[in-house]
Amino acid sequence: KQEVTQIPAALSVPEGENLVLNCSFTDSAIYNLQWFRQDPGKGLTSLLLIQSSQREQTSGRLNASLDKSSGRSTLYIAASQPGDSATYLCAVSKDGNKLVFGAGTILRVKS
């Protein structure tokens, strides 16, 4: 059974810092991996989708990497802003349909 772990569980940083969120998964036979953002009381917003054949994806200040063989992904956020404060969720899929989520990292960026 696929298990997804996210470290750290919570992170507080001053504005402007670069930061890394970590995600690990136990079964490397994945189809893709997605990073989501969830604001309090809201739904999930898809940030980046990495196919199993890809090594990384970038969108603005966000960069996600994937090392499928070791079962790891990282989400790098450059020059963090208070508006980046949210819960970040990593999810993997074996078939491109069913997602298995990690518990998330709660990020707080202090101004």
Partner 1 sequence: DAGVIQSPRHEVTEMGQEVTLRCKPISGHNSLFWYRQTMMRGLELLIYFNNNVPIDDSGMPEDRFSAKMPNASFSTLKIQPSEPRDSAVYFCASSQDRNYGYTFGSGTRLTVV
Interaction site with partner 1 (CB under 8 A): 31-32, 34, 36, 42-46, 49, 51, 89, 91, 93, 95-104
* Backbone phi and psi for residue 35, each to the nearest 5 degrees, phi listed first: -110, 135
**Is 55 in contact with 65 (CB distance < 8 Å)?**
yes
Closest CA to 67 of 18, 25, 19: 25
* Distance of closest approach, residue 56 Cβ to partner 1, in angstroms: 16
Helix (H) or strand (E) holding 46: strand 44-51
Is the Cβ of residue 3 or residue 67 nearer to partner 1 in the bound state?
3
Residue closer to partner 1 by CB (options 13, 22) is 22
Shortest reach from residue 74's CB to partner 1, in Å:
18
Q: How far is the CB of 46 from partner 1 (least distance, A)?
A: 4
Output the furthest CA–CA distance in the chain (Å, rounded). Answer: 41
Comparing CB distances to partner 1, the nearer of 3 and 15 is 3
Q: Output 13 or 63, the one with its CB closest to partner 1.
A: 63
Residue in this structure with the two tokens 């298995």, named with its chain if needed: 100
Report the DSSP beta bridge partners of residue 31: none
Q: Minimal distance in Å, beta carbon 31 to partner 1?
A: 7
